[in-house]
Structure 1
Amino acid sequence: MALYVYAITGQDHPLAVGDVTGVGADPSPVRALACGPLYAVVSDVSEEIRPKRRDLLIHQEVQERLMEGGPVLPLQFGYTAADEATVEQALRKDADGYLANLERLDGCVEYHVRAFQNEEELLRQILRETPETRELNDRIRAGDPDPQLPLTLGRAVAAQVRERQDALAAGLTDALVPYAREHDVRPATGDDLLNLSLLVSDDRREEFLSAQAGLVRQLGDGVEFRLSGPLPPYSFVR
């Protein structure tokens, strides 16, 4: 039977997931498959797993329970293997790498920080503080007939938006990274200006949270933070 694989842990992990029913239309109990010094946390599945709400929640519940008991290498949603032999072969093949990763992530959790800047407030700042854009805007409002003015203003404003948001993202990253053992900056999506993952050790979590809260107060209503965590260290599994 095919297996859905949630995570990899070490043999000394308490594995407090025995009462959890796994993913799928005909869910089976979550269990541990041992192979040498490692466990794969799995459940039997009989069909392709799609990202339905219940299954996503079960996947995350398993990860969070495992995280409470010690270091874990969480797999992204949807990973399946053909059978137990396939999982055991994968564990044996890279046992040293998995063990090194578990040691590296021991005592750490992931936090994810996204930031969004109020566009209207940013545009007002640019028109108020940048001589070039202020002059162009004043000429348009005064009725200057030059047809190139709106395009020139749009380009100037767009350049200022990129420059200011890049600078803000870099500043936020520089302020938070010192509290993390590792970090990962990814391209921001949508209207966000920051997409930052941080691996934070238990002994620095309060410092990190205090620093993040301080940034929120310092920047005020113009910047919206979305902090997720503590999370299993998805972004730092190598």
Structure 2
Amino acid sequence: MAVYVYAVTLSDHPCRVDGVTGVGAHAAPVRVVPAGGLCAVVSDIDEEIRPKRRDVAAHQAVQNRLLADGTPLPLQFGYTAPDDEAVRAVLEEQAGTYRAALERVQGCAEYNVKASRKQDLLLREILDDLPEARRLNEEILAGSQDPRLPLELGRMIADEVELRRSSAAVELVRALVPLGKDHALHTPGGEDFLNLSLLVPFGDEAALVKAHKELARDDDSGVVVRLTGPLPPYSFVA
């Protein structure tokens, strides 16, 4: 029977997964396959696993259970193997690679920081700061029919938005990166201008939480900073 693989841990990880069920319609018990001084956390499956809400939640629940007792090496959703023997073979063949990756994240959790800025406040700030943008906007509002004005104003605002978002991202990165053992920058999505992951040692998260509270205070800039964690260190699995 095929197996779904959630994570790899060192052999001394408690792997307290008794009573935990995994992905799939039949939700088989989660168990451990040891080999090469490592352990793979798996469950049996008899179907093709797709990223349905229930299965994604089950995958994450296993990661969270493991993280409560030490840092696992989490695998992305959907990793499967033909059987236990195949899992053991990979653990033994790749033992050095897995150990190096686990050493990198050992004793740490991932924290994710996303930041966005309220567009209405940003646009108001740009119009207040740039006389030329304000002049163009006033002419348009006064009823000017010149088709060049909206295009010129649009380009000016777009350039300024990008400049100010980039500047805000640099400032946040400069403030937050020293609070982690390692960091990874991801491409922001939607209205976000920053998507930053930090690898933070257990016990050091208080400084990050404090920094987030200070950055999240309303200072009329419209910047919204969100902190999520602790998380399994997906961003730091080489």
TM-score exceeds 0.5? yes
> 2 CA distance for matches of 1:220 and 1:172?
17
Q: CA offsets, 1:7-46, max 9 Å, x none?
A: 0001111110021011111121100001020000000000
1:99 matched to which residue of 2?
99
More helix by share: 1
Deviation track 1:131-169 (CA, whole Å, cap 9, x = no partner) reads: 221122223234444320111001000100000011111
- Equivalences, count: 238
Q: Is the 8 Å Cα contact of residues 71 and 103 (structure 1) preserved in structure 2?
A: no
The 5-angstrom pairing of residues 210-221 of structure 1 reads 210-217=210-217, 219-220=219-220
Q: Which amino acid aligns with 1:140?
A: I
AA aligned to 1:40 is A
RMSD between aligned alpha carbons? Answer: 1.4
**What amino acid does structure 1 have at the position aligned with 2:51?**
P
1:166 matched residue in structure 2: 166
Distance (Å, rounded) in 2 between the aligned partners of 1:236 and 1:112? 12
Q: CA deviation at 1:220?
A: 5.0
In 2: Cα distance, 1:141 partner to 1:26 partner: 62
Cα displacement (A) at 1:217:
1.1
Q: Counterpart of 1:139 in 2: which secondary structure?
A: helix
> What code does the residue aligned with 1:204 have?
D
Deviations 1:164-212 (A, max 9, x none): 0111111111111010111111111111111111111123210111011
Q: Distance in 2 between matches of 1:218 and 1:210?
A: 15
1:118 shift after superposition: 0.5
Deviations along 1:43-65, whole A, 9 cap, x unmatched? 00000111222211211111011
CA–CA distance in 2 between the matches of 1:117 and 1:53? Answer: 29
Aligned residue runs from structure 1 range 168-183, under 5 A:
168-183=168-183
Give percent identity, aligned residues only: 52
- Within 2, Cα distance between the matches of 1:33 and 1:167? 48
Q: 2:110: which partner in 1? A: 110
Distance 1:147 1:60 in 2: 53
Distance (whole Å) between structure 2 residues aligned to residue 145 and residue 92 of structure 1? 73
Partner of 2:68: 68
TM-score normalized by the length of structure 1 = 0.95
Match of 1:7 in 2: 7
User: Which secondary structure state, in structure 2, belongs to the residue aligned with residue 217 of structure 1?
Assistant: coil
One-letter code of the match for 1:159? Answer: D
What is the TM-score normalised by the length of structure 2? 0.95
Alignment map for 1:110-129 (pairs within 5 Å): 110-129=110-129
Q: Does the Cα contact within 8 Å between 2:3 and 2:44 map onto a contact in 1?
A: yes
The amino acid that maps onto 1:87 is V
The 5 A counterparts of 1:22-33 are: 22-33=22-33
SS of 1:14's partner is coil
Find the aligned partners of 1:157 and 1:173 in 2 and give their Cα distance: 24
Secondary structure at the counterpart of residue 69 of structure 1: coil
CA separation in 2, counterparts of 1:168 and 1:153? 22
Q: Counterparts of 2:40 and 2:193 in 1: how far apart (Å)?
A: 37
CA–CA distance in 1 between the matches of 2:220 and 2:213?
Answer: 11
Q: Structure 2 CA distance, aligned partners of 1:188 and 1:62?
A: 27
| Structure 1 gap segments, 5+ residues each | none
The amino acid across from 2:198 in the alignment is L
Secondary structure at 2:204 match in 1: helix
Task: Give the letter aligned to residue 111 of structure 1.
Answer: Y
CA drift of 1:71 comes to 2.1
Q: CA deviation at 1:224?
A: 1.9
CA distance in 1, matches of 2:178, 2:136: 41
